[in-house]
Amino acid sequence: MYQLITGPLLWLSFAFFIIGCVVRIVLYIRGLDWQADRVAYLPHFSYGIKGAVRSIFFWLIPFGTRAWRQNIFFTALFFIFHICLIFTPVFLLAHNVILKQRWGFGLWTIPEGVADIMTVAVIITGIFFILRRIALPEVRILTTAYDYIVVAIAVAPFITGFLAYHLAPGYSFWLIAHIISGEVMLVAIPFTKLSHFVLFFMSRGQLGMDYGIKRGGMKGKGLAW
């Protein structure tokens, strides 16, 4: 079982993840309206790129935009969740040992104590996001079971990995569950709301290009709109 899920199933998961993300990017670009969007992007590419880079940069910085500063507490938790969600598995010592054994390379790793703290941070903030959807009427009205499932998919690898690392009773079960839940998350990213992993950059880049070209960025440059 272990050889199967760390061998063929792992490769298949990465294939779904990479190919799926590329497809989502291509479909996003193809879905742009020629009259409203793409018609202005190529002729005014330099202005658009400046706007896109600026938009992505400031939205990646905590409190870098007015929207982030409107709810300081939520913004802090949002960034803690996403930073820990991405950096913990990528720079985890155990994962990089496997990389070194299987593919001959590894990345810089974070101390195991720090990884523990980041793992717990993902779990706690994930629970907060669930409670927020339950408690706030304006969020609850937009929430369906699908939203809870997406959060569960994102958090499950961290819960199972934490239990396996700390040798909780049923270690073998938690280890297998950790690997399978991680692979489920990889496969789910292109097909669920988790696709904002890549589509965030597409949408922020598009909006940045709009503002850099059509919505004041080229004011006085002879652009008709």
In a domain, 64, yes or no: yes
In a domain, 222, yes or no: no
The set of residues, in sequence order, having a beta carbon less than 8 Å from that of 194 and lying 6+ positions away, is 150, 153, 154, 185, 188
The tens place of each residue's pLDDT in the chain, 225 residues long, gives: 777 887 788 889 999 999 999 999 999 888 876 665 555 666 777 777 888 898 999 999 988 888 889 889 999 999 999 999 999 999 998 888 888 877 777 788 999 999 999 999 999 999 999 999 999 999 999 999 999 999 999 999 999 999 999 999 999 999 999 999 999 999 999 999 999 999 999 999 888 888 777 665 555 555 555
Nearest-angstrom CA–CA distance, 160 and 173: 9
Structure tokens that stand for 57 in this block = 């940069």
Q: What angle do CA 135, 141, 147 make, to 5 degrees?
A: 80
Residue 134 amino acid letter: I
Number of domains in the chain: 1
The set of residues, in sequence order, having a beta carbon less than 8 Å from that of 44 and lying 6+ positions away, is 213, 218, 223
Nearest-angstrom CA–CA distance, 186 and 107: 19
In a domain, 220, yes or no: no
In a domain, 84, yes or no: yes
In a domain, 115, yes or no: yes
The set of residues, in sequence order, having a beta carbon less than 8 Å from that of 16 and lying 6+ positions away, is 186, 187, 190
CATH of the domain at 73: 1.20.950
pLDDT at 87: 95
In angstroms, the Cα distances linking 30 to 24, 139, 201, 202 are 10, 31, 15, 12
Instruction: Print the domain residue range for 84.
Output: 2-213
In a domain, 223, yes or no: no
In a domain, 225, yes or no: no
In a domain, 108, yes or no: yes
pTM for this prediction = 0.87
- Helix ranges (H only) for the chain are 2-5, 8-30, 39-41, 45-59, 66-70, 72-91, 93-103, 112-135, 137-140, 145-165, 171-188, 196-213
Do residues 162 and 120 make contact, with C-beta atoms less than 8 angstroms apart?
yes
